[in-house]
Amino acid sequence: MPDTTCETHSFHVNGHTPSSTQINFKSTSSSGTPSNGESLEQIHDQIEFHEKALSDLKRRHNALAPVANLLPEILSIIFRMCVEEDAPHHPWSFEVLKRPPTRNPSSWRALDLTEPEYKYPLMAIRLSHVCRRWRSIARHDALLWTHILMPSNQWARRMLERSKRAPITVEHLFPQAYSKSMPALYHALTHLPRIRNLHISSHWQHFGVPLPMQVLNLLCNPAPALESLYLANLTVTGASSRTFPDSIFGGYTPRLTHLAVAHGVELSWTCPLLRSPNLTHLFLAGLHHWKSSPLANLLDVLDHMPHLQCLALHHCIPSNNFDVFPGQVVKMDYLTQLSLLDRSSDCNRLLAGLSIARPLETDVQLFSNLPLEGDAGGDLTTSFTQAARFAAGCKTVRLYVQKTGLRNQMRIQCWPCVVDNPNTLSAYRAGQSIFHFVWPNPQVLLSADVIQQACERLALENVEVLSWDIGTHVDESVEAWAAVLRWMVKVRVVQVSWRMLDILLKTAAHHEEQSEPGDPPLLPGLKKLVIRTTPIGEEATSRLKAWLAGRSSGPWAIESLDIADCTVLSTHIRTLRTLTDVVWDQMETNPRFSRPLPLDEITPDDLLEEVTAPLLDAEDDGWEEEQFTDDGE
């Protein structure tokens, strides 16, 4: 097929793009061979001409696009929306505190507080590289460059310049003990008067990065625009004490609302940061020198924060054994989120000194461990009593109980409303109020009596949805379990897993044997039974069938069964469907059951050992082994 070449015209050199009629194409008989007298330089000129012509055509084409007609002010607003959409999640979301951290600095990764996300500033850079017009608009919009890109000293300087005088956010994570990004942090801190959010931390693998004195000196200047401050895993170079000086920020942070200090550097009781009248969020962790101080010091600090909405104190509640309770009560009129992690006695003393205006509307997470010595039973009872004001009137409760040879743990999760989603009811971190207690086995034997005491102290008689995740290696008497369930007359939905189906059926049968004709059955209001992660063999099916048949008439009939993630035969499902409505996931075998045992040979202990032990190790024991110690630190 003959090739075509283009004759050049004299007007090509003036930058004008010719029309299609002006370009004269002529055929040549050679394929890829230059015509006589045509030099390589002429070919380069033609290539350059067509590249310029194509670029000009693209520019004219883009000029006709609808987005090209938008005013620069409108484009700036759109750019800001794109940048904000890629902004990192705010570290003050209370969801990150659902699981308590350990003293291991790696736990802070779970809190999402030490991992800055650099997608935010990178989006502004990408927008500025689309075209010449967008670049001009983006570079002159100071609000697009307020989140400083810290790993690069060059980019940090450039963004500090482009942000002009706008308030900026500085998030700096030291990736290693001696980071080359220290100059970038230094230059950013020279703009301290306009820093709105300051986040300095070190990676958990390099715990305790020392801040040079030059950086510390910059931090002693006033910060009139500072609203959020987070410092974690840091130390001070050459300092005899890890405590920040009281001259931090020159004692002037009038707009500070969010303060978090975790591990490494500590704050003195007289630190001006703790006297900021506008503080709404306070998160302190690992301030170990506070432990030996009087509780009155902490109450005095909280008394200077009348607008506090979120309070998290982890391993820093005073525990001076010789300290007499001061009798001081601090009013918390705006508190909506509370997270305490420490020894049970310390948490109880602090809670006794707090007057929370709306306890039933407060998200509470109480993680406490009982001591190896002393009145552990009394501490546990007091803990239940202190937790009662947050759980009163709740409609949904999840009881998670695990007993091993050396340690007991009880986790009570409460919702003020009815929650019937099975996944939520089995979620480890769900619930508006979470109370987690851990104590050594020799002190208080974890039994049905302790569970009954917890239910009575928390006043759970109005519960309508009950989820039981109880694993125990010692069989409790049916009389003890009957005492726990007998007074839950309003429960409409029960979710069981592991061995709790076996316990429920045996307890119900015992209650029926001890009852007089016409007496209401156990859990008289029950309408729906949800079964998860349980082997349902021949014996369990027979008991379940007998229980359903005994409640088939009158107002006590169970209307539906919801069975999923269980090992159960389809023939058993058909048997149960003759008595009530059954929702089944059509799975006869749970794939997580690794042992190839016949169905009727799978015992609850097999299930607990084979299925739940790895999950418990990952979810609970891993952090409790480091978190809860005999000294409470």
Residues in the chain: 633
Tell me how far CA of residue 385 lies from CA of 351, 381, 391, in angstroms.
11, 6, 10
Q: List the one residue out of 503, 445, 494 whose CA is nearest residue 471.
A: 503
pLDDT of residue 86: 62
Query: 197: part of which helix (H) or strand (E)?
Result: strand 195-202
Give a yes or no: residue 584 inside a domain: yes
Report how many domains make up the chain. 2
Give a yes or no: residue 109 inside a domain: no
Give a yes or no: residue 136 inside a domain: no
Q: What is the DSSP letter of 262?
A: E
SS3 call for 198: strand
Q: What is the mean pLDDT of residues 41-61?
A: 89
pLDDT in tens, 260-299: 998 878 899 999 999 988 999 999 988 888 988 999 999 9
pLDDT in tens, 456-475: 888 888 899 999 887 654 55
613 Cα distance to chain centroid:
24
pTM score, two decimals?
0.77
- Distance separating alpha carbons of residues 610 and 592, to the nearest angstrom: 8
pLDDT of residue 597: 40
Residue 93 pLDDT more than 80?
no
Identify each DSSP E strand in 10-130 by its residue range. 25-28
Give a yes or no: residue 517 inside a domain: yes
Q: Can you state the percent helix, strand and coil of the chain, rounding each to 5?
A: 40, 20, 40
pLDDT of residue 204: 57
- Tokens standing for 133? 């017009």
Residue 194 pLDDT more than 90?
yes
pLDDT in tens, 226-238: 999 998 888 776 5
| Least confident segment among 106-120, 198-212, 498-512 | 106-120
Give a yes or no: residue 98 inside a domain: no
Percent of the chain whose pLDDT exceeds 90: 34
- Distance separating alpha carbons of residues 260 and 274, to the nearest angstrom: 11
Give a yes or no: residue 257 inside a domain: no
Give a yes or no: residue 535 inside a domain: yes
Give a yes or no: residue 349 inside a domain: no
The average confidence (pLDDT) of the chain is 78
| Owning domain of residue 528 | 373-633
pLDDT of residue 110: 31
pLDDT in tens, 372-388: 665 667 788 889 999 99
pLDDT in tens, 127-165: 888 888 889 999 999 998 888 877 778 888 888 999 999
pLDDT of residue 322: 60
Q: What is the DSSP letter of 223?
A: -
- Distance separating alpha carbons of residues 87 and 258, to the nearest angstrom: 18
